[in-house]
Structure 1
Amino acid sequence: MRRQGAIVGSLLLFLGLLASCGASPERPDESAKKISQEGNAPQAAGAQASAQDAGQAKDSAPARAEATGKTPRPAEAAEPKPERYMPPEPWREKRPAPGEAPTLKAPAFAQKRLPNGLTVIVSERHDLPLVNISVALRSGSAQDPQGKAGLAELTYEMLLEGAGKLDAFALDEAFGDLGTSPQAGVGPDGGGVGVRVLKRNADSALSLLSTVVRRPRFDKEAFDRKKKKALADLARLSGSPQFLAQEAFAATIFGETHPYGHPSSGTPKSVEGISLRDVKGFYKKHFGPRNAALVVTGDVTLAEAVKWAKKHFGRWRGKARPPKAPSEPPVRKREQVVLVPKAALNQTIVVWGRPAVPIGHPDEFALRIANDVFGGQFSSRLNMNLREEKGYTYGAYGWYDGRRGAGVLAAYSAVRADVTGPSVAEFVQETKGIVEKPITEAEMEAAREGELRGIPGKFETVDALAATGSALFQKGLPLDRIERVIKAYRGLSLDTVRETAKKYFVLDTMQLVLVGDPEVVKTQVPPLKLGALVERPPLGVAPEEGKPSAAK
């Protein structure tokens, strides 16, 4: 009863306060009705303001004087109205010029090699007591055996499914006790596993990481679970037009048997054929100190990292050696257009490109600038055409992906199905235009500034630093790569960029892959005369046969 009385008393007090303020409580439906009457809202607000003004007038100085018979003071008789806007000021009319760009300073990387062949790479950053510790290897999905695409990815993921005396759950808990969670991943040129921890936990984290890399358990139960998940993920991706385009494009420009001719995840058919024995074989062949680097970034010195490496990895043995870089595929003339059929799709995925130079090639940076002008930035010619002028797509972009053996020069867009043909025609026209309408000085400068200003993002965190250090090792690049990149971009001339564009944007070497409604594509694309239209079943496998398609 005492509690109910307190509640009633509080409610009465609240209502009394509303009444004393001249307000009356409204039901929610009445408030909503007022808000929904858009045409009446300004009038109601104006009427309320007028009523308030009238009330203020009754209580003004002259009114009080008339009621009391007293003469108002001069200040009360002439009360100035406050200004309701900021008066114009000349200094606001001109936008301030941007200040000087800050000096671009590349992070320093240092390295030392242990007697067992393990490379230790360090980049120091002492502003926070954090370190990222990663083990990077030069073996990636390019080392997948024929017919076993996805083996490298499955092997790296299995590292975290138990190590030493710890099963998957105990291992995860042990890392969790250190306030971290390990991550494993793989790409075409390498893979790795790593953690980010407070420096005070670095030694304990290294002990666990060493166990993960040197003594993985490869339990059958864990393998079956991971393989089942991989197949489930691929089943989901099989419905993604973007993934289907990625898989078909890699096979088209490199060839299905080339090391770069498949996605890292593999396909349902290839993953289905992977056994635990395959995983153990890949590990034995590719994991060893001579094919690995311990990359430590953050609040650490090279001396500290070497000490940690000797303690936790000094006894690591293995016969693994760095694999050779994949060979450059031949650049072929386009003879066909590859179509991955996806009935009733309201968009068509367009991928257009060719193999290009490997990372570190003398033409790399001029090609990056030429690609930026073509499609590599929002203001690129391709995006301005397809998105801004034509309205065919939400976006179109190009990219250059530098790899050890060969790069990729490509462009992509998801366009409205009803303008598939016109969109492909614009890809063709822009490819011609990058040569016939030479890149301008302004375009080159904008692209160069974009590249230079994007560099700091590659090392803004200790994780980004570790990723950069790992990539340098995996791709066999010098540790001062970032300094060389800055110098290379600043040293480019317009003539060099134009000549590089002519060299690589060759129309009849650009392969075309489409994912879309076959009825739409077959109607709109053949009139462009870009090559014979050849259907490639999704993921290159005919569902009714379970065999690879004949399309190459």
Structure 2
Amino acid sequence: MMRRLFVSASLLTLASCASTPKAAPPSEPPAAEAPAPQDAEAFRQKAPAPGKPPDLVLPTFEKAQLDNGLTVLVATRRQLPLVSVGVAFAAGSAQDPAGAGGTADITYKMLLEGAGGKDTIALDNAFADLGVSPGVGVSPDGAFLGVQVLTGNVQPALALLADVVRKPTFAPKDFERRKQQQLADLVRRLGSPGFLAQQAYLPAVFGEGHPYAHPTGGTPAEVSKLTLAAVQGFYRKQVGPQATALVLAGDISKDQAVELAQKYFGDWKGTAVMPPAPPAPAAPPREQVLFVAKPGLEQTVVLLGRPGVAANHPDEEALELATTVFGGFFGSRLNMNLREAKGYTYGAGASSDARLGVGPLTANSSVRANVTGPAVAEVFRELSELRTRPITSRELEAAREGLIRAFPGSFESVSGLSASAAALFYKRLPLDELTRTVDKLEKATPAEVQRVAEAYLDPAAMQLILVGDPTLIQEQVGPLNLGTLTQVDVAGASRPAPGKAAK
């Protein structure tokens, strides 16, 4: 029965199909004209619009102080299980005894040469067991010693750092080895024209004997005379709880940090106090052009500078903007002239270094030796034109944007956070200094920036130091009448260049 129904249904379907007339195909629309071919490179005619910049989020620093005077600085960041654990010391190379440059540098490096009953190797292995290697950095205003560890290793790291800071060994054999390493490094650096320029630059800007007038690592003549007793004396005088900060940044809270500080440093005693700010140096008119002779050098190092401002000076942010327009980024006047327009150099720059005391305001470049004179002339022309060709709104906004957007780079890691906190400690700045700085950069007016540019970037007050071939310097720079050409040796002694004094 089912088979018959199926067959009948099939026949009906076939019959229906056979009797239905076939519909005529629809008429096709007329063919449209082919579109004109597009230029595949047309997109290059217009630069892509920049996206919306991310919001600037500045870190928050918290502070506490133990009964013994130790400062505790904390910056909490919970994204990763990492903590930067460090100790900031308020005395830097500016506290080196007169004629004993390098004392602070060697003293702080000696802290890692054995402590708490462990010799150098045992101490290094103890840190290595935590997966870290401690580092130490010394600047004119202070020093920082620390490590970055997993959150679970904060306590053992602090235990080691407490021994390093409070119980250094200062073994004679370790001191002699460290001293010889320092001397070898200095001798090597004497082959660097940039280091030679710095040797002449610092006393020229700050004056002989000023606390900022020598390199942090000292000179070979100074370091060769250092004694272990001098290093131990520096430690006793400059290192103590009242002149030290424990800095913790990362996966840790303020309460946790204070508890750990109390555990490992709460009973620390010492007589050291925060050192005073170095005195403000004079800024006399330039009378000499100092040069270090390097016969046959293919490039000439050009270094100009004068005293600038101290940290938290009312002119600090406006001067930073003016210096940036002049030479602080790739599109600055100085770089676009010397590199892009003239082809004299691979790059030229300028910076303002506000320290606890008045820091240096510097411009620098390394130029082809055969254009030393023209390059120096262009630098001074650019300085002079800050008066005759005032800073434009476009230049100011580019500098403002560049400085503000660069801020996150200094605290993108927990180590960067701790370094920022240490700088606040060295320079005695408030905890909201970053916020205050950004606010001042945003509010600086064109008139204010122009005023400080004319006041501080006066070409007559900029000391000039050159390192290069003495014959080329005398032939090309002498006729510029920028000052008496005076040759300087690396020990700081100077003598007029024969027959080429400029009036």
TM-score, normalised to structure 1, is 0.81
- Residues 94/386 of structure 1: CA separation in 2 closer, same or farther (3 Å cut): closer
Aligned partner (choices 304, 309, 315) of residue 363 of structure 1: 315
Task: Kindly indicate whether residue 291 of structure 2 is the aligned counterpart of residue 339 of structure 1.
Answer: yes
| Aligned counterpart, 1:350 | 302
Aligned partner (choices 387, 392, 414) of residue 440 of structure 1: 392
| Aligned counterpart, 1:296 | 248
- Residues 164/541 of structure 1: CA separation in 2 closer, same or farther (3 Å cut): farther
State the shift of 1:502 in Å. Answer: 1.0
State the shift of 1:123 in Å. Answer: 0.3
Q: Deviations over 1:254-304 (max 9, x none)?
A: 012000000001000000110000000000000000000000000000000
Q: Deviations over 1:282-337 (max 9, x none)?
A: 00000000000000000000000001000000111000000000011011110010
State the shift of 1:538 in Å. Answer: 2.0
| Aligned counterpart, 1:538 | 490
Aligned partner (choices 360, 382, 387) of residue 339 of structure 2: 387
Separation in 1 of the partners of 2:340 and 2:466? 22
Gaps of 5+ in 2: 1-36, 495-503
Task: Kindly indicate whether residue 153 of structure 2 is the aligned counterpart of residue 201 of structure 1.
Answer: yes
> Tell me, what secondary structure is at the counterpart of 2:60?
coil
Separation in 2 of the partners of 1:412 and 1:375? 9
> Tell me, what secondary structure is at the counterpart of 1:525?
helix
Task: Kindly indicate whether residue 348 of structure 2 is the aligned counterpart of residue 407 of structure 1.
Answer: no
Separation in 2 of the partners of 1:88 and 1:133? 55
| Contact persistence 1:238–1:539 (CA under 8 A) | no
State the shift of 1:434 in Å. Answer: 1.3
| Aligned counterpart, 1:517 | 469
State the shift of 1:192 in Å. Answer: 2.0
Aligned partner (choices 175, 188, 199) of residue 247 of structure 1: 199
| Aligned counterpart, 2:259 | 307
> Tell me, what secondary structure is at the counterpart of 2:406?
helix
Write the mapping of 1:34-183 to structure 2, written as runs, cut at 5 A: 88=40, 95-183=47-135
* Residue identity (%): 51
State the shift of 1:103 in Å. Answer: 1.2
Q: Deviations over 1:378-406 (max 9, x none)?
A: 11111111111111111111111111110
Aligned partner (choices 211, 214, 236) of residue 262 of structure 1: 214
Q: Deviations over 1:108-161 (max 9, x none)?
A: 000100000001000010010000011001100000001100000000000000
> Tell me, what secondary structure is at the counterpart of 2:347?
strand
| Contact persistence 1:137–1:474 (CA under 8 A) | yes
State the shift of 1:407 in Å. Answer: 1.7
Aligned partner (choices 191, 197, 213) of residue 165 of structure 2: 213
Separation in 1 of the partners of 2:392 and 2:182? 47
Amino acid at match of 1:414: S
Task: Kindly indicate whether residue 371 of structure 2 is the aligned counterpart of residue 419 of structure 1.
Answer: yes
State the shift of 1:246 in Å. Answer: 1.0
> Tell me, what secondary structure is at the counterpart of 1:196?
strand
Q: Deviations over 1:492-549 (max 9, x none)?
A: 111111111111111210100001111111111110000101111124269xxxxxxx
Separation in 2 of the partners of 1:413 and 1:92? 35
Separation in 2 of the partners of 1:226 and 1:433? 49
- Residues 183/90 of structure 1: CA separation in 2 closer, same or farther (3 Å cut): closer
| Aligned counterpart, 1:497 | 449
Amino acid at match of 1:132: S
| Aligned counterpart, 1:286 | 238
State the shift of 1:99 in Å. Answer: 2.4
Amino acid at match of 1:205: A
Separation in 2 of the partners of 1:287 and 1:374? 40
Separation in 2 of the partners of 1:207 and 1:96? 54
Separation in 1 of the partners of 2:299 and 2:50? 41
Aligned partner (choices 177, 200, 203) of residue 225 of structure 1: 177
Q: Deviations over 1:465-515 (max 9, x none)?
A: 000000000111111011001111111111111111111111210100001
Gaps of 5+ in 1: 1-84, 543-552
State the shift of 1:164 in Å. Answer: 1.3
| Contact persistence 1:231–1:268 (CA under 8 A) | yes
Task: Kindly indicate whether residue 412 of structure 2 is the aligned counterpart of residue 460 of structure 1.
Answer: yes
- Residues 279/195 of structure 1: CA separation in 2 closer, same or farther (3 Å cut): same
Amino acid at match of 1:146: A
| Aligned counterpart, 2:11 | none
State the shift of 1:93 in Å. Answer: 6.8
Separation in 2 of the partners of 1:217 and 1:99? 56
Separation in 2 of the partners of 1:99 and 1:527? 51
Separation in 1 of the partners of 2:481 and 2:152? 65
Separation in 1 of the partners of 2:144 and 2:344? 40
| Contact persistence 1:400–1:407 (CA under 8 A) | yes
Amino acid at match of 1:279: V
> Tell me, what secondary structure is at the counterpart of 2:357?
coil
| Contact persistence 1:234–1:267 (CA under 8 A) | yes
> Tell me, what secondary structure is at the counterpart of 2:72?
strand
State the shift of 1:87 in Å. Answer: 7.5
State the shift of 1:343 in Å. Answer: 1.3
TM-score, normalised to structure 2, is 0.89
Separation in 2 of the partners of 1:88 and 1:533? 60
Amino acid at match of 1:410: T
Amino acid at match of 1:329: P
Separation in 1 of the partners of 2:81 and 2:193? 44
State the shift of 1:105 in Å. Answer: 1.5
- Residues 405/90 of structure 1: CA separation in 2 closer, same or farther (3 Å cut): closer
- Residues 127/92 of structure 1: CA separation in 2 closer, same or farther (3 Å cut): same
| Contact persistence 1:244–1:539 (CA under 8 A) | no
Task: Kindly indicate whether residue 382 of structure 2 is the aligned counterpart of residue 430 of structure 1.
Answer: yes
Separation in 1 of the partners of 2:44 and 2:228? 70
Separation in 1 of the partners of 2:95 and 2:42? 66
> Tell me, what secondary structure is at the counterpart of 2:405?
helix
Separation in 2 of the partners of 1:458 and 1:235? 32
Instruction: Say how many residue pairs are matched.
Output: 458
Amino acid at match of 1:261: A
State the shift of 1:97 in Å. Answer: 2.3
State the shift of 1:101 in Å. Answer: 1.5
